[in-house]
Amino acid sequence: MATKILLNGGNLTSSLLQKIATERTKVEFAIAPASRERMQRSRDFVYEIVRGRKVVYGINTGFGALSDKHIPRKDLEKLQYNLIRSHCTGVGRPFDPSVVRAIMVVRANCLVSGHSGVAPELVDLYLQFVNKGVAPIVPEKGSVGASGDLAPLAHIALALIGEGEVIYRGKQMAASKALKSVLHARPAKLGPKDGLALINGTAVMTAIGALALEDAKMLARAFDIAGAMTVEGTKGTDRAFSEEISRVRPQEGQLLVAQNLRRLMEGSQVRASHLHCGKVQDSYSLRCIPQVHGAVRQTITHTDRVLAIELNSVTDNPLIFPETKEVISGGNFHGEPVALALDYLTMGVAELCSISERRVEKMMNASFSNLPSFLTKKGGLHSGLMMAHVTHAALTSENKVLAHPASVDSIPTSTDKEDHVSMGVSAARKLSEVIENAKHCLAIEFLANTQALEFLHPTKSSPVLESVYRLIRKRVPAIGDDRVFAKDLQSIYQMINSGEIVAAAESVIGPLA
């Protein structure tokens, strides 16, 4: 049975959004009663303006650089349809339906706050699309992140008026057909300001960012597990993770990661077996895991704070304040806070891959690890994980390109009226790509460090890491002769993506920080 959520403009979280988008939780949305009342008051005020003679941007004017054009009352409905159709200029591959679903929930949550002047019935229809799993086809490219995510949101709005194409149960169909046969509804009838309210806001960059953020939270813990397992596989020391070291440099992320590493490695027979070896210090990629992974934790924390606000904010223009009888034009549609945060998080996730690549190299390098070169006993005849490391290097290098911030760019549009923009959707799309690369990089490190542990048997790692090792071995056998490692990497990727690897560790020691 579906959980019913009453959207009120203030109760959306990135965690809930991910569950909705991935359908891990079956949810049905509706407008909270108090929110419906606020929306109706705002809507009534819009019609009060229409009945009067006052010229108000977005209600009876053109848009953007055409805002000085007064539109007669008889053309106000046509104005809104023209706006949606003309703004459907997106290009490129379509967003995945799960992403479109998330975007629509974010946009609806903005509209129900009651400051957009939109008809409540229009949002009801919007939520019907979400509830029934009908996803408009939305091209990925075309937004500069101010005035909001106009082009992609226009493609969504187009489906509401019965035009364009949608995806339903994996099949493409006309929006008009989906409205009739799936939703049993008529196309939306747009009134004053409806079209503008549907397309003006930061819902696209915010939704994509929120989904990536939840992945980043999971990946941060998974990279801690991988790092600990690599330290074990190369017979590194956990002394560098001592609480005393982090306490005299109390960066919050460093403290958390060092604690995770100590818990992950506690009770290791491998560690006990080389307590008195001649090694003095490990390489930075092992010794500095708390400092690097910890710094990434802080990019996650900052992005979490920004998106928690943005998910429950009103980001269109102009805004309606019926209590004071005001319509105020401003710039809440500008995506700069989101764009900067997503660029910051992109750099953080890219760094997780960068230090992981160095750890993988250490396992390949017999002169450092005292393990067989490329983790194969039959080097020469067999190449082992030589190319797996190369793939990691390729992904890590690609991430460095993608980590160049989108938000530092701006290009004027609309005859220079919209003269500074955020590029927030570009930042969000790059972050998603880096997240995807990171999952594959992590899979390569797990393929390597589980194999490294094979050469240390029968000595065992810690109970936690052995639990992760056993999980991986259920689907990925130890490496003897060369084989098609892409299949192994895909199996581990799936375990990462599903959260199984983190769950295996946490089933032994409880939640990781």
| Ranges of each domain in the chain | 3-201, 208-509
Confidence of residue 248 (pLDDT cuts 50, 70, 90): very high
pLDDT band at 71 (very low <50, low <70, confident <90, very high): confident
The whole-number average pLDDT for the span 233-259 is 95
Cβ 97 vs Cβ 87: under 8 Å: no
Architecture of domain 3-201 in this structure: Orthogonal Bundle (1.10)
Following DSSP, what letter does each residue of 55-73 receive, concatenated? --TTTSB--GGGTT-B--G
The half-sphere exposure of 82 on its side-chain side, counting CA atoms within 13 A, is 11
83-87, 340-344, 353-357, 417-421: which has the minimum mean pLDDT? 417-421
Which region among 46-55, 259-268, 436-445 has the lowest average model confidence (pLDDT)?
A: 46-55
Cβ-contact 384, 373 below 8 angstroms:
yes
Q: What is the pLDDT of residue 61?
A: 87
The CATH topology of domain 208-509 is Fumarase C; Chain A, domain 2 (1.20.200)
- In this structure, the dihedral spanned by the alpha carbons of residues 220, 221, 227 and 233, taken in order and rounded to 10 degrees, is -150
Give SS3 for 134: strand
The predicted pLDDT at position 276 comes to 67
> Which pLDDT belongs to residue 278?
62
* Beta strand ranges found along 326-440 (DSSP E): 326-328
Cα–Cα distance measured from residue 106 to residue 116, given in angstroms and rounded to the nearest whole number: 14
Instruction: Please measure the distance between the N-terminal and C-terminal CA atoms of the chain and give it in whole angstroms.
Output: 32
Which pTM was predicted? 0.96
258, pLDDT greater than 90: yes
Please check whether residue 361 is in contact with residue 302, taking contact to mean a CB–CB distance below 8 angstroms. no
Average pLDDT of span 285-314: 98
Percent of the chain with pLDDT over 90: 87
Average pLDDT value for the chain: 95
**Residue 322's Cα: distance from chain center in Å?**
35
Hey, what are 167's tokens?
Answer: 């995806």
Reduced to 3 states (helix: H, G, I; strand: E, B; else coil), residue 275 is coil
Q: Is the dihedral of CA 53, 58, 59, 65 positive or negative?
A: positive
Beta-bridged to residue 135, according to DSSP, are 167
Strands (E), 322-382: 326-328
Q: Is 321 exposed, middle or buried (0-12, 13-18, 19+ CB in 10 A)?
A: middle
Q: What integer pLDDT is reported at residue 273 of this predicted model? A: 78
Contact of 439 with 445, CB cutoff 8 Å? no
Q: Which H/E stretch holds residue 140?
A: strand 139-141
CB 155 within 8 A of CB 161: no
53 pLDDT above the threshold of 80: no
The candidate with the shortest Cα–Cα distance to 192, out of 99, 59, 310, 98, is 59
Give the ranges where 184-335 is alpha helix by DSSP (H). 194-199, 203-233, 243-247, 252-265, 269-273, 284-287, 289-310
Amino acid at 466: E
Omega before residue 318 within 30° of 0, cis:
yes
pLDDT average, residue stretch 196-220: 97
pLDDT computed for residue 66 by the predictor: 79
**pLDDT tens-digit profile of 339-384?**
999 999 999 999 999 999 999 999 999 988 889 999 999 889 999 9
Which positions are annotated as active-site residues? 57
The pLDDT of residue 235 is 94
